[in-house]
Amino acid sequence: MLKSGLAFVASHIQVVGDLPATLIPGHIFRRAREDEIVLIQERLRQSMRGPFYQWVHYEDTIREERQGTSTTFHVEPLPPDQWKYWVVAFEPTNHNIHEIETIGLLLPTDLEFAFQIYFSEPAQIGEIRGMQAMPLHIFEKYSSHDCAFTNATSLTTQQIASIGDLWPLYKNMRAEFSFVASALDNFSALRRVPLQSSLAVVGLFSIIESLTTHAPRLTETLDSINHQIANKIILLRKRYARPITPDQYFLNSTEEKIWKKLYGYRSSVAHGSVANFNAEYQVLRDHSTVVRFLRDNVKELIIFALKSPEFMSDLRRC
């Protein structure tokens, strides 16, 4: 019988605040122990598919040196007490680690798990009785150059512990508000689409639409999906816990114009057109900026919807 388990956090994060932190009963976020780090390192080595693959530098910091148009990355080792190996330790055999990861995607930095290790005894000791393989989308993301040569982002223990506040809202969502839970499930599923793909934009907009819009009434000229999103998101954005404003991402423009340009970009890629960021969509900068802005908005929108599902249900009908 499996008595305990360990989920290794793939995300490259630096945790600020006191640990351990309880996520939900029986699920503790903490720093990995020395013996666990050895297991994690061995598992990561086994997951590499060749000598040329990179991985997140949990044991190092990265210093960029730019000379003209070239950039050199210097890997500088950290002392062991500053290594960035984090785990979620769980005791019950009927664990909720996958739901925790789904909700962890709503943090400012995605909280994602590379793999799980299962033990024969409580407290993550005893014989190793099983392992869950690393999903392909996790391998492809965290072995990419962008992840391998980027420094950790900070998450506070308060932010991490907020998973415990959102978990019961997600798990106990009333059937009439199932569109909210579906939006979160779809956001999790969308991780399997590479962020550089135009499909990521279409997928993110579909989540926004599912949370905020109704089918357009043909008798009303101001009832288009584009118009609904532009107006409703501008209002909802003021209720987000984390400020997400277009001027943090894009060139200077009005918020309404930004959203209409974003929806225009979504329509272009959905219909197979090539969007020109040097002309019509210059205000949006580039595809990666668009995806980053939409993902941050979707995260805050889902959090708000989990907390206020009745309000969102009413808003969809407006």
Percent of the chain surpassing pLDDT 70: 95
Question: How wide is the angle at C-alpha 95 spanned by C-alphas 124 and 181, nearest 5°?
Answer: 145
pLDDT for residue 226: 72
- Is the separation of the CB atoms in 25 and 165 below 8 Å? no
Residue 51 has pLDDT above 80, yes or no: no
pLDDT for residue 220: 47
The verdict on 160 and 182 lying in the same domain is no
Phi (first) and psi of residue 277, to 5 degrees: -80, 0
Tens-digit pLDDT profile for residues 239-263: 999 999 999 999 988 998 999 999 9
Owning domain of residue 91: 4-168
Local confidence band at 219 (pLDDT 50, 70, 90 cut-offs): very low
Residue 170 has pLDDT above 60, yes or no: yes
Kindly tell me the sign of the dihedral angle through the C-alpha atoms of 167, 171, 177, 181: positive
The verdict on 259 and 155 lying in the same domain is no
The verdict on 99 and 134 lying in the same domain is yes
> What b/e string do you get for 293-304 counting C-beta neighbours within 10 Å, with b at 16 or more?
bbbbbbbbbbbb
The arrangement of strands across the sheet holding 21-24 comes to 21-24, 27-31, 86-90, 4-9, 113-121, 125-132
Neighbours of 121 (CB within 10 A): 12
The verdict on 190 and 277 lying in the same domain is yes
Give the domain-ending residue among 118, 150, 168.
Answer: 168
Neighbours of 224 (CB within 10 A): 14
Tens-digit pLDDT profile for residues 147-159: 889 999 999 999 9
Pairing of strands 60-67, 70-77: antiparallel
Give the domain-ending residue among 117, 136, 168.
Answer: 168
Local confidence band at 218 (pLDDT 50, 70, 90 cut-offs): low
Structure tokens belonging to residue 305: 């919807």
Residue 110 has pLDDT above 90, yes or no: yes
The verdict on 141 and 284 lying in the same domain is no
Question: Hunting for tokens 């600020």 — which residue is that?
Answer: 16
pLDDT for residue 318: 81
The verdict on 78 and 216 lying in the same domain is no
The verdict on 211 and 311 lying in the same domain is yes
pLDDT for residue 215: 66
Shortest CA distance to 275 belongs to which of 265, 290, 260? 265
Query: HSE of 22 in the Cβ direction (CA atoms, 13 Å)?
Result: 5
Shortest CA distance to 286 belongs to which of 207, 196, 199, 193? 196
The verdict on 161 and 112 lying in the same domain is yes
Residue 202 has pLDDT above 50, yes or no: yes
Local confidence band at 224 (pLDDT 50, 70, 90 cut-offs): low
Q: What is the mean pLDDT of the chain?
A: 92
Local confidence band at 1 (pLDDT 50, 70, 90 cut-offs): confident
Tens-digit pLDDT profile for residues 65-90: 888 788 888 999 999 999 999 999 99
Instruction: Give how many domains the chain has, as a whole number.
Output: 2
The verdict on 135 and 184 lying in the same domain is no
Percent of the chain surpassing pLDDT 90: 77
The verdict on 100 and 235 lying in the same domain is no
Q: How far apart are CA 307 and CA 167, in angstroms?
A: 11
Residue 102 has pLDDT above 70, yes or no: yes
Distances (CA, A) of 293 to 82, 110, 243, 268, 297: 31, 14, 12, 18, 6
The verdict on 196 and 161 lying in the same domain is no
DSSP state of 52: T
Q: Which residues pair with 117 in a beta bridge?
A: 6, 131
* Top mean-pLDDT range of 13-22, 41-50, 136-145, 193-202: 13-22
Residue 178 has pLDDT above 90, yes or no: yes
- Is the separation of the CB atoms in 51 and 26 below 8 Å? no
Q: How far apart are CA 33 and CA 39, in angstroms?
A: 10
Give the domain-ending residue among 168, 187, 216.
Answer: 168
Question: Hunting for tokens 């769980």 — which residue is that?
Answer: 90
The verdict on 300 and 156 lying in the same domain is no
